[in-house]
Structure 1
């Protein structure tokens, strides 16, 4: 993997789910726990629940609604917040995320969390993993009304947060999001190779893959 030119990077923009956090929680929640809950609540088979829910989820892919707790609470008539609380024991950091963040902090890099997660989901996860001490700014795309896949997200971010796109590194596990960041002019991009610790490695396409976040900071000088 080519080393990053850290002398040209001031700001590190970080995705949450699948980048800092193990995507296993979200995959279990959306693909197993929630459809089973829906089936039990409505007295239908799991197969029937999947047949209804999976295409419905897919139809909102890349839109702000896909990530919205309130939207799915109303659409499916399910207590999504409470359901996420019920499964919060599955929320975990990806391997070495905390060491990676500590290295960035020691090197004086500005760390900004930019997530498509709804604030309700974000609050549940941050209570479990305690990332706030390592982050300078925490942004949910719901703050702006546009997901990271949308160029308007990046325009809103640049108005709200002082950073130079060309001197920023962005790490995410979503190819559409990375392509959106690339179009906006983010200077350095890395894709997460295995966002779900219990899932397969993914095709990172045109982006440089990252398996272990710690590898990205192996040559990062500390200012402390």
Structure 2
């Protein structure tokens, strides 16, 4: 850690860095029970058509967005799908359907073995935050599920803004929330393209978590430090 000054704020990516996750949104094991649930609610849902409309809508959103790295909004997407089936009720049900979709698509959700020891070590020593490409209606219950909610003072979620990492504006949102300049923060993430290049563009010192065996994205960005596990940061 001698290559980096000790920061005021430690910012983390979430999925792939702190949380070990795998989802499969294309499986019929997702869409068949989801469509059945909607039929229980009186909506004429067919699993194959629902699946097709979901991915078609996602493509339309990406094409229509003015952003270079567009993010979808679960409320908008599932609201559009449900209204096409004749739903005209409260937004809360739309969120519940989106969350059911997430639960059905989940194949693995848990902590890496080095996550909790590091967060417990840093907690109280530094202010900590998250910058995550995610849906807020997924992220918040999943943080609670794995027992991490209490560690973070501010959480920046891409679905709130309509753009994703590596857009440096997400990193700027975190700096503004903590009221610190870039050189008083450090960002830790596992994705060289999205995490490291985004932090570098925002002029935040970047630590690349290159876990053994993990897929490496191509990027010209250079991290200030490369580590193979979070335990290497427990000297802070």
State TM-score, norm by structure 1. Answer: 0.71
1:164 aligns with 2:204: no
Give the match for residue 13 of structure 1: 11
What is the CA-CA distance between 1:98 and the residue it aligns to?
0.6
3-state DSSP of counterpart to 2:15: coil
* 1:37–1:132 distance in 2 versus 1, CA, 3 Å: closer
Give the match for residue 113 of structure 1: 130
Deviation string, structure 1 residues 154-191 (Cα, Å, up to 9, x no partner): 333333331221122111233134212211110x2122
Say if 2:70 and 2:162, in contact at 8 Å, map to a contact too.
Answer: no
* 1:132–1:38 distance in 2 versus 1, CA, 3 Å: closer
Which of these residues, 163, 169, 190, is aligned with residue 173 of structure 1? 190
3-state DSSP of counterpart to 1:124: helix
Give the match for residue 64 of structure 1: 71
Return the structure number with greater relative CO, CA threshold 8 A, min gap 6.
1
Deviation string, structure 1 residues 3-55 (Cα, Å, up to 9, x no partner): 3545432211111111110132xxx23354xx54337754659xxx69x9499
* 1:142–1:37 distance in 2 versus 1, CA, 3 Å: closer
Q: How many residues align?
A: 202
Give the match for residue 29 of structure 1: 24
* 1:8–1:124 distance in 2 versus 1, CA, 3 Å: closer
Deviation string, structure 1 residues 130-173 (Cα, Å, up to 9, x no partner): 21222222222334443332233233333333122112211123
- Larger strand proportion of the pair: 2
* 1:76–1:190 distance in 2 versus 1, CA, 3 Å: farther
Which 4+ residue blocks in structure 1 deviate beyond 6 angstroms? none
Give the match for residue 193 of structure 1: 210
What is the CA-CA distance between 1:202 and the residue it aligns to?
2.0
* 1:111–1:76 distance in 2 versus 1, CA, 3 Å: same
Determine the C-alpha separation between the residues in 2 that align with 1:104 and 1:58: 42
3-state DSSP of counterpart to 1:64: coil
Say if 1:18 and 1:173, in contact at 8 Å, map to a contact too.
Answer: yes
Determine the C-alpha separation between the residues in 1 that align with 2:56 and 2:202: 31
Determine the C-alpha separation between the residues in 2 that align with 1:53 and 1:148: 21
Say if 2:155 and 2:174, in contact at 8 Å, map to a contact too.
Answer: no
Instruction: Give the alignment of 1:42-81 within 5 angstroms.
Output: 42=46, 44=48, 53=55, 60=62, 62-65=69-72, 68-74=73-79, 79-81=97-99
Give the match for residue 42 of structure 2: none
Structure 1's unaligned 5+ residue stretches are none
